[in-house]
Amino acid sequence: MAGNITFTMIKPDAVEANNIGPILAMINKAGFRILAMKYMRLTKEQAGNFYAVHKERPFYGELTEYMSSGPIVAAVLAKDNAVADYRKLIGATDPTKADEGTIRKLFAKSIAANAVHGSDSDENAAIESNFFFSHLERY
């Protein structure tokens, strides 16, 4: 059975462009409840740990540099079928390939600066949520 949480970040480009509010509104409108949330800036080392699965990818250096370039909003979201439904709401990694009306289509600047993160599996949703939040920080 599909799990009911996913993890998201509003990335530095979207924070810089003043799009925290519109993105959170889309998240709520799509039926996700916010279980946990924080506003913070990652160090390059923390970004590297978060994206450790991509260590061998050619864009890893660019990605960790970018993700530590400014503050982000991290959140745990709850909804039935959260992982798949949230991936649908955010759209494809490359915003030029994202469907109309998706968060990345509306707000992303490029394939790297693509406005939001969304977990790709229930297992990673749990790992990523635990990276940022203790159980005492979830409501």
Under the binding rule (CB under 6 A), the answer on residue 122 touching ligand IDP is: no
The residue within the footprint of ligand IDP, chosen from 20, 84, 111, 126 (CB under 6 A), is: 111
Under the binding rule (CB under 5 A), the answer on residue 122 touching Mg ion is: no
In the bound complex, what is the minimum distance in angstroms from residue 120's beta carbon to Mg ion?
A: 5
Active site residue 135: no
Within 68-107, which residues bind ligand IDP (CB under 6 A)?
93
Under the binding rule (CB under 5 A), the answer on residue 120 touching Mg ion is: yes
Report the distance separating Cα 7 and Cα 63, nearest Å. 18
Q: Please, are residues 80 and 33 in contact by the beta-carbon 8 Å criterion?
A: no
Count how many residues are written for the chain.
Answer: 139
Give the bridge partners for 15, in sequence order: none
Cα torsion angle, 101, 102, 104, 107, sign? positive
Q: Which does 111 bind (CB under 5 to 8 A by kind): ligand IDP, Mg ion, none?
A: ligand IDP
Q: Using CB under 6 A as the criterion, what x/- string covers residues 38-57 for binding ligand IDP?
A: ----------------x---
Nearer to ligand IDP, 84 or 111 (CB): 111
Closest CA to 11 of 121, 90, 126: 90
Beta strand ranges found along the chain (DSSP E): 5-10, 33-40, 72-78, 116-118
Give the bridge partners for 34, in sequence order: 77
Q: Which does 59 bind (CB under 5 to 8 A by kind): ligand IDP, Mg ion, none?
A: ligand IDP
| Tokens matching residue 89 | 């709401």
Site residues for Mg ion per CB under 5 A: 120
Could you list the active site residues? 117
